[in-house]
Amino acid sequence: MKKNVYLDYNATAPLRPGVKEVIQSALDVVGNASSIHHFGRNSRHIIETARHQVAELVGGNSENVTFNSGATEGNNSIIKAFHKQGVLVSSIEHPCVIEQKHDGITIQVTKDGVIDLEHFHDLIGRTPPPTLVSVMMVNNETGVIQPIKDMIDICHGRGVKFHTDAAQAIGRIPVNLFMLNADYMTISSHKIGGPHGVGAIITTNNATPPVLLHGGGQEKNHRAGTENVAGIAGFGAAAKHATDHFEEFQTCKTLQDHLESNLKKIHESIVIHGENADRVCNTTCFSIPGASAETMLIAFDLENIALSSGSACSSGKVMDSHVLKAMKCPAPELKGALRLSYGWATTREDIDIFLNNAEKIIKRIV
């Protein structure tokens, strides 16, 4: 029987150890966290424990953590609050940022997928300057780490607020919100091995989380709606596990080196995107020029190997990646881009199974 090999952590990571049990325990707690009776206080205690655990993961203060349904909601909340005043985003942002209203000008990246700081200097120096700059900390397709600290210093020198989507960064690289001094950070639970449908906005510099949902006093009036107690509990448990086992996660670098060195031996035309830039240790985005990513995805799936296209995929349709386009990748590379992402439960055997099948599939298709 073929072993199931899951290499799509950047889409959703498997639940970390102990998270399911924490969720199940929280489901047995009856009470609305806004109620003043002891049932409500029990639910409130679960939420506040998780708030502290999430704050620990990002180097923030628990009072600055506002729970919501995930980074998409958080990103929408922040961008919508500032779009009439001027928002500058990069060309490689997640669709939940880049598809929102802005003036159409985006910050360019280099061929390695890193923010072009010279272009950024030019844009931020224009009159009038934007009120907010939004740039992700780690790109979800390539794993390239962006020069966020440099950008924040430039923004604050001009009185511009800064937001970073850190969904693909937490648990993978050291993240300390107060050292970075970002005004807003957004994260998602399921990217680090917690449940779906939970996330948070974390703030600094006395920034107030923008309100997207009105109608209740939950989350200090910053996010209306009865809290998802069990989901938040699971998010907190995943955050604690990620904090406690951060060093262990860095063993993914060994897997990444093994994967990429052997991948290049399979076919001489393989291109690894962002190879010359700083990247997180769990992401490999590569292209086989002339091949069809969709065909390869199906072939790998038939071998019980889950990975993703380096392209945008929604409603079953695979489209060219706007990230790789921004990196000026040639058309043949766009069509044959695949992304592998791995994490806390990935083994050397998983990578070897992928490599063995990749050799057969690529030679058959290319």
List active site positions: 313
Q: Kindly state the tokens that stand for 22.
A: 């924490």
Other beta carbons within 10 Å of 2: 10
Q: Which are the contacts of 241, defined by CB distance < 8 A and separation ≥ 6?
A: 16, 17, 18, 19, 193
d(CA 339, CA 354): 12
Per the CB < 8 A criterion, the answer to whether 180 and 22 are in contact is no
Task: Please state the φ and ψ torsions of residue 97, each to the nearest 5 degrees.
Answer: -100, -50
d(CA 178, CA 200): 16
Identity at 143, one-letter amino acid code: G
Hey, is 113 helix, strand or coil?
coil
Per the CB < 8 A criterion, the answer to whether 154 and 124 are in contact is yes
Q: Kindly state the tokens that stand for 366.
A: 């290319």
Measured at the CA of 231, the angle between CA 241 and CA 249, to 5 degrees, comes to: 20
Q: Burial, 237: exposed, middle or buried (Cβ in 10 Å; 0-12, 13-18, 19+)?
A: buried
Q: Which are the contacts of 359, defined by CB distance < 8 A and separation ≥ 6?
A: 266
